[in-house]
Amino acid sequence: MTDEKIPQEINTLTLIDEDGEEHEFEILNSIEIEDQRYVVLAPLADEEYVDEDDFADEGSAVLLKVEVGEDGEEYLTDITDEEEFEMVVAALEAMEEEE
């Protein structure tokens, strides 16, 4: 018998920034609140995404809202409402405590 670990499948997502550059993220979690879906993403370890406005340090997570466009496609957008952001963070924290 070997001690090899079976690689776990990682759900990834490629985001394109405002400069047209692609960045790979791992989907850490998702949650639905009042018919609105949100996702928590983290840059993959080999990513060099270090935009100080978006991430405090490498490995930070980002919380985004999943919007559905008129074409039926899903888009990720920033959560601009502070109350909405805090509501989602609280729900995610409560979900973690249950686990």
pLDDT at res. 51 = 47
pLDDT at res. 2 = 43
Measuring CA to CA, how many Å separate 32 from each of 5, 50, 64?
33, 29, 12
Q: How far, in Å, CA of 61 to CA of 28, rounded?
A: 8
Contact criterion met (CB below 8 Å) for 53 and 32? no
pLDDT at res. 67 = 94
Q: Which residue has the tokens 């960045």?
A: 23
pLDDT at res. 16 = 85
The whole-angstrom distance between residue 44's C-alpha and the CA centroid of its chain comes to 11
pTM of the model: 0.72
pLDDT at res. 92 = 93
pLDDT at res. 56 = 41
pLDDT at res. 48 = 52
pLDDT tens, the chain, 99 aa long: 444 544 456 688 898 888 999 988 999 999 999 999 999 999 886 545 444 444 445 558 899 999 999 999 999 999 999 999 999 999 999 988 887
